[in-house]
Amino acid sequence: MNPKADILVVGGGLGGVAAALAACRAGRSVVLTEETDWLGGQLTSQAVPPDEHPWVEQFGTTASYRRLREGIRQFYRQWYPLRAEALALTDLNPGAGRVSKLCHEPRVALAVVEAMLAPHRAAGRLTVLTDHRPVAAEADNDVVRSVTLEHHPDGRQVTLGARYVIDATETGELLELAGVEHVTGAEARSAYDEPHAPEQAQPLNQQGITVCFALSHHEGEDHTVDRPADYAFWREYRPDFWPGPLLGFQAPDPRSLEAVPRTFVPNPELDPLAVSADQSADAGDKELWGFRRILARKLHRSGAFDSDITLVNWPLNDYWLKPLVGAGAQTGAEAVAGARQLSLSLLYWLQTEAPRQDGGTGFPGLRPRPDVTGTPDGLAKAPYVREARRIEAVTTVTEHDVAIDLVGPYGGTRYRDSVGVGNYRIDLHPSTGGDNYIDIGSVPFEIPLGALVPKRVRNLLPAGKNIGTTHITNGCYRLHPVEWNIGEAAGALAAHCLDEDVEPAQVQAEDKRFEEFARRLDRDGVQRHWPDVRGY
């Protein structure tokens, strides 16, 4: 099979799905590829509940992202045995986690994503190739001509061409394969005069990755896994900037860097309806079980579930010893393998050595949940990637555009070519360069179209963490609703360029052409500017 399409979207995470939906909605034919067997990226194969801003229930997302969120809630209302009080909630938080107003299981997000794509597949506009990863690309005269993908189980390769190619991979792989100018890691301070940038460029200084996993707890049972091969190393590992062993309940507060204890009590008795999920008021990250809980047993009729399910994406299993991109395929593979060993070691430590509040040690009743993550061992299918290769773009968003300390509480750059909005703190996790957390306030920001337009290449668009940000500003542009918005804008732009016989650089540079494109976004429900949030 060698499907042909107007637009090729490589990478089936949130940005890729949103790009495919936007292009199909415009009547264009699309091939969407994905390296794993699950579409949805952060929400599914990486098993990360959404990180969102405090106004997400009222505004600040695209209409299609709101449909995704409502579809997830409706799935629980229709199929789960919710208590009457929970069933009646318009703002149901299925997991009652504190990280998000919509903590939920990966498979539920997968089901909703597949449902959103289903009409376009039935109409023949959309072809989806899962288990395919890009291995090569051909480009000439500033145009990407084709992308070669390899099918995981059997090694078969397929080469696909399209008039527009969208890089929605988690690491910006097509940028390297197609020779598109890009950067990795941290820029030098002299590049943009960012206060938090290092003096010298550090291309291999990247945020750590995390291999998440799901757990339930069953008192009186023993689900202890085999001792991981690297457990001795991780059990003794003490980072220089950490208050003690990495496998311990003391960790830095991301904002103050002070040592702060974390608590861990499986299946607490607190009514989940009493849980607040507003990180702007309470970060909520010091109580580990409830922070990223994705199923709350007490939201459901008595006896339906014998345990909560929580998602482990904690300071204890962030991996930063080797960079994922820019140091070669072998180093990247070693980083993923190391992150997997760290997470397995954390699981084993929790089951055998973690201190309990009753003075004992170990929680052997902790059960990894392969059924939740769709894997044999309960680890996520793919690592949670916080930082990718980034295009050298027409517009680069810097700390001076979004940091609250620099622009004031109601400042920030307003772009004439805004194609969306977002809001999140500049949240950088410990890095491969030895940096501790960099966590600083930001203002509600806009997504400039110029950050999606490469300086040279004419038919490739980024659709995720690979847009024109810096190492610093990537820390607030990398979260779920922003990635979806970026992907939606990229898919709509590719379709618009085909319809109008123009190129992305022209749409970005010329006011009249941009206004025509903006009207398309407005019709599709893409919010391009923030309202005054001071009253909220």
Annotate 52-69 with DSSP letters as a single string.
Answer: --TTTTTSSS-HHHHHHH
Of 261, 214, 270, residue with least CA distance to 96:
270
Of 308, 338, 309, residue with least CA distance to 323:
338
Farthest CA pair distance, the chain: 70
The helix (H) or strand (E) run that includes residue 404 is: helix 404-407
Looking at residue 263, what is its pLDDT? 95
Structure tokens at 348: 């084993």
On the 0-12 / 13-18 / 19+ scale of CB atoms within 10 A, 321 is middle
pLDDT digits (tens, 9 = 90+) for 135-181: 999 999 999 999 999 999 899 999 999 999 999 999 999 999 999 99
| Helices 63-79 and 480-500, packing angle to 10 deg | 130
Structure tokens at 104: 């939920």
Looking at residue 2, what is its pLDDT? 67
Q: CA angle at residue 105 from 104 to 109, to 5 degrees? A: 85
* 284: helix, strand or coil: coil
Looking at residue 354, what is its pLDDT? 98
On the 0-12 / 13-18 / 19+ scale of CB atoms within 10 A, 67 is middle
Domains of the chain: 7-49+107-186+386-527 (3.50.50.60), 209-267+307-373 (no CATH)
Contacts of 241 (CB under 8 A, 6+ apart): 252, 257, 430, 434, 436
Looking at residue 281, what is its pLDDT? 64
- In contact, 314 and 288? CB cutoff 8 Å: yes
Contacts of 371 (CB under 8 A, 6+ apart): none
Of 189, 213, 204, 242, residue with least CA distance to 437:
242
- In contact, 147 and 8? CB cutoff 8 Å: yes
Place of tokens 């194969």: 45
Looking at residue 153, what is its pLDDT? 86
- In contact, 448 and 417? CB cutoff 8 Å: yes
Looking at residue 416, what is its pLDDT? 97
Of 9, 115, 113, residue with least CA distance to 493:
9
Structure tokens at 363: 């929680």
Structure tokens at 325: 């991109």
Instruction: Return d(Cα 260, Cα 315) in angstroms, integer.
Output: 11
* 298: helix, strand or coil: helix
Instruction: Return d(Cα 270, Cα 303) in angstroms, integer.
Output: 17
Which parts of the chain register pLDDT below 70? Answer: 1-2, 279-283, 535-536
